[in-house]
Amino acid sequence: MTTTPAPTSPVPERLALLRARLQHHGLAAVLVPSADPHLSEYLPERWQGRVRFSGFTGSMGTLVVTPTRAAVFADSRYWAQAEAELAGTTVELVKIPTGAATHHLDWIAQTLAQGEVLAVDAAVLGLAAAKQLGDALSARGIVLRTDLDVLDEAWPGRPDLPAAPVYEHRAPHAAVSRADKLAAVRAGMAKSGADHHLVSTVDDIAWTTNLRGADVDYNPVFLAHLLIDEQAATLFVGAGKIDADLQVRLAADGVVLADYADARAALASLPDSATLLVDPKRITLGLRQAVPAGVRVVEATNPSTFAKSRKTAAEAAFVREAMEVDGAAMCAFYAWFESALGREAISELTIDERLTEARARQPGFVSLSFPTIAGFNANGAMPHYRATPESFAWISTPDGLVAEGLLLIDSGAQYLGGTTDITRVWPIGTPSAAQRSDYTRVLKGTINLSRARFPLGTLSPHLDTLARAPLWEAGLDFGHGTGHGVGYFLNVHEGPQSISRAVPDASMAMWPGMITSIEPGLYRDGRWGIRIENLGLNVSVGAPDEFGEYLAFETLTLCPIDTRCLDHGLLRDDERQWLNGYHAEVRRRLAPRLSGAALDWLVARTESV
């Protein structure tokens, strides 16, 4: 591990400014969710208040600040990271079991006294979360105030809204026209009895309008709200972000532009005769509060959320192509990596740089789809680890290996024809018997779920045990979900499906065309981490009969799974057959795109076992 002494944390000084505003307003606490007005996962700098006032940079977490205490609530994926980043900040870590846990509500209820006031900005508080919060506070007589953005008052030089231009996702990769998508959304509105529909989630807006942007890192989206009625749609977006030619094309499909800040006023001006569809999981309290009392509000999942999760046949074909170019990039990278081990200086940072360069050379590449995770040995045991110039591990020097162990690489990219996300683990030196055992059990979980057949409409959380069973047999487990939905040149994390321990609801049903990650893992704190991830496409198998229609996963990801880490005694013959069949398909699809060292590496790593 290479580290640079950390400078004195600026967090205590920032907290002092925030606490001064609490005192000014007579507040007992402020709640800072990891959210923006669109309830996004990846946030523009303007809404990274939890990072600024705690120092914790994980992608999920909640901050609560009182006059005397500050606490970050984070799940097991981030515990090691949070402990390191919160050191010296005076902010305490409260460990919670999952990202959906509500321990911060209990903490607030126990910390604040009856009659005291908690502030949270309604503009970034989800409607569903607001109800949970309100119920918890009212039971203890704590007052909730949502009309203040206390962070704004305590944040000198707070970043402005991002100004990146918006562009069009065009044919052939945009396989469904904007007009057809708007028609599909309107059909969903009609089914709910609504004549107006507000969409605030940026990936839903990007999908519906066939537009893309760069307002946040990694996901090709832009900040906007979209108000759709039976004839037209108003896109509330920053001035100057859409050029004149694109405005004309939008207008031809009935999409007109308005200023980003005018969305609340537009809602407030809806007539009492209107019926408005909103998704309570995907709209903020602030926007809901703007709706006049006379307007009938229907709460249901955004129709676009279901539609964009079910990729068309044309989109699936482009995703397969994206997987081939992504796989070719990884083969080129890994061929270099293995040849350079022990002969060149290679760190976790080097891996990030070289793998990104390999992908950037591929046709249709736009950006990475999330920050690359390259974790060697103990760093791999942190599921959301990211090497930084201040803290990273060396793997190799020109004089040899720094150490032996396991290297976990979780990476992905955005291409015009699809979004990729893959995790592989590679042995540096000779893996130990314990590492082989752990690796093989994780692979058995990946295989078990990858081979599953399940009835159409199966609730995705019900599939979770298939990936965990081979680990459970040995008394092992992992603390994150097994799979998340993946967008089509959109968010790398997409709903509504989730293969996890989440409490299932009807919206999580599995349907043809959905793309979901399959990524069981196993983490030995302070020693190593293992995760083997592919993306799978839901496809229909067989003809429907008296027992219904069934789905299976088509494995989309194309990259060898390292066989040097296998404990062959733990693999059944049918599992070995699956692995050999997968490698034969990887070789068949990628070999025509490779030559030289990359092709030689592919052939060597796809030999049968």
State the Cα–Cα distance between residues 567 and 433, nearest whole angstrom.
8
Q: What local confidence, expressed as pLDDT, does residue 521 receive?
A: 97
- Residue 462 identity (one-letter amino acid): H
CA-atom Rg of the chain in angstroms: 25
pLDDT per residue as tens digits for the range 119-161: 999 999 999 899 999 999 999 999 999 999 999 999 999 999 9
> Does the pLDDT at position 5 exceed 70?
no
> Does the pLDDT at position 3 exceed 50?
no
State the Cα–Cα distance between residues 35 and 429, nearest whole angstrom.
43
pLDDT per residue as tens digits for the range 228-250: 999 999 999 999 999 999 999 99
State the Cα–Cα distance between residues 167 and 221, nearest whole angstrom.
10
pLDDT per residue as tens digits for the range 112-121: 999 999 999 9
Question: What is the band of 99 on the pLDDT scale with cuts at 50, 70, 90?
Answer: low
State the Cα–Cα distance between residues 421 and 488, nearest whole angstrom.
12
> How do beta strands 405-411 and 422-428 pair?
antiparallel
Dihedral angle, C-alpha 592, 413, 317, 538, nearest 10 ° = 120
The two structure tokens encoding residue 318: 């482009």
Q: What local confidence, expressed as pLDDT, does residue 81 receive?
A: 84
Sorted by where each starts, the structural domains of the chain and their CATH numbers stand as 2-153 (3.40.350.10), 167-308 (3.40.350.10), 310-605 (3.90.230.10)
**Range with lowest mean pLDDT among 59-68, 195-204, 403-412:** 59-68
Q: What local confidence, expressed as pLDDT, does residue 100 receive?
A: 66
317-334 average pLDDT score = 98
